[in-house]
Structure 1
Amino acid sequence: MSRISKQAVAAIGAATAAVATIAIIVALPSPAAEPVAAPQTSTAVSATTPATTPAGPTPAEGALAASKPVSLEVPSIGVRTGKLMDLGLNPDDSLEVPPDAVTAGWFTQAPTPGEVGPSIIAGHVDYHRVPGVFVRLRDLKAGAEAIVHRTDGTTAIFTIYRVDHYPKSSFPTDKVYGDTTEPELRLITCGGEFDQAARQYTDNVVAYGKLARALKG
């Protein structure tokens, strides 16, 4: 798949209008726990080790072939996931979310990481007072690397170029999920204040990345 289907984007937009939140929303049932800084010595994984050899192609040469993502690392904020779960759409056209704090998931109606278009990985900021896998996503800086290990043995390395916060009431669906001319990545979680009445956060945090290179171990 090289694009998110128009039906999926339309469904996400329709859900936004209907419930005043985005469809890719990581809604939480409890107030946020205090962010916990992950130990850099145990969770940060160098993008240069273990030794790897270039597998190409780079964005200038073309996109990678389709291959499901296995796991994600974002060394600068201490993210190192286990196996990514598949995320689809619920009957109300909202995105399925992981069932616990530490699991992240890939939206299966989006391109696989390395294909042309925006690949989507979502996770909780916290869940039942447990800090989530993306608790530090808001601290991610432009120039950081996001490393996606794929089923075919290749590793797609993305460079983050922006991190934005959006109110859920005015989430830019087309900007986040719309077509791109290069392989891109979106990392998405909740942010802002926790609305006790609505039992969800007021904002979303979205990190944008572009494919920098691909490696084969």
Structure 2
Amino acid sequence: MSPAPAKTRRPSWSLLAVVLLAGVLLVHHGVSQADGPPQPEPGAAKLGTTTPPADPLPASTPVRVRIPEIHVNAPLTRVGRDKEGWLDAPPPRDANLAGWFTGAVTPGERGTAVIDGHVDNADGPAVFYGLGSLKKGQHIEVDRADRTTAVFEIHGIDVVDKTDFPDRRVYGSTGLPELRVITCGGSYDKRRGYTGNVVLYGLLTSVRDRS
């Protein structure tokens, strides 16, 4: 898969919602490991944080994502939708690579940004294998091309069924600068692959200057 080219204009969420609510923007990748990746704790799906949001940032291309608790420190490439309309993923051969969905806002902007990556590949665990083990209150850091780091606090983790994907809940804008991090999860079927997606919900709570 080649990275999607930069777009001079992104569709508004109102336009993108037509696609999302049609149920076509899903994560459709992953190769099973014998024991399976960790899954979120019961109750982690309930959204909520008492930390106030930071002010939204201007647009800037994300270049790296870090999640210290699960030792993620990965470069970001651009991803779009595949031929079937699913949310595409980075090339599976590179286990330590995540993707930023160019059809949404950049992380830190007002709206809902989306990052995805493989849970595993043919060689073993991949970049987001440990995503389901994260907990509310932990953080995701996204380095941006403008030399800022957008820090998102996790306020919910969920496993959703691919056949009944909650588009509005996952991708819809809350009016705040939010982030979704997505990988495969749930049970594994040799014919269909992973039956669900692990979805992490993050809120921008601070910004660091890397200059």
* TM-score between both structures, scaled by the size of structure 2: 0.81
Cα deviations by residue, 1:8-53 (Å, 9 ceiling, x for unpaired): 3332333x3xxxxx6321422x32255689xxxxxxxxxxxxxxxx
Q: Percent identity?
A: 40
Aligned twin of 2:207: 214
Code of the residue aligned with 2:138 in structure 1: it is A
Aligned twin of 1:134: 128
What is the SS of the residue equivalent to 1:27? Answer: coil
User: Aligned pair in 2 of structure 1 residues 97, 63: CA closer, same or farther (>3 Å)?
Assistant: same
Conserved in 1, the CA contact under 8 Å of 2:13 and 2:173?
no
For structure 1, the 5+ residue unaligned runs are 17-21, 38-57
Distance between the aligned counterparts of 1:9 and 1:33, measured in 2? 36
Aligned twin of 2:29: 27
Conserved in 1, the CA contact under 8 Å of 2:37 and 2:119?
no
1:65 equivalent to 2:58? Answer: yes
1:3 CA displacement = 7.7
Code of the residue aligned with 2:58 in structure 1: it is A
User: Aligned pair in 2 of structure 1 residues 125, 173: CA closer, same or farther (>3 Å)?
Assistant: same
Aligned-residue RMSD, C-alpha:
2.2
Conserved in 2, the CA contact under 8 Å of 1:33 and 1:130?
no
1:179 equivalent to 2:173? Answer: yes
What is the SS of the residue equivalent to 1:194? Answer: strand
For structure 2, the 5+ residue unaligned runs are 1-8, 39-51
What is the SS of the residue equivalent to 2:163? Answer: helix
1:80 equivalent to 2:73? Answer: yes
Give structure 1 regions of 4+ aligned residues with deviation exceeding 4 angstroms.
1-4, 33-37
What is the SS of the residue equivalent to 2:187? Answer: strand
* TM-score between both structures, scaled by the size of structure 1: 0.79
Aligned twin of 1:105: 99
Work out which of the two has the higher radius of gyration on C-alpha atoms and give 1 or 2: 1
Determine which of 148, 152, 155 is the counterpart of 2:149.
Answer: 155
Conserved in 1, the CA contact under 8 Å of 2:26 and 2:162?
no
Distance between the aligned counterparts of 1:33 and 1:112, measured in 2? 35
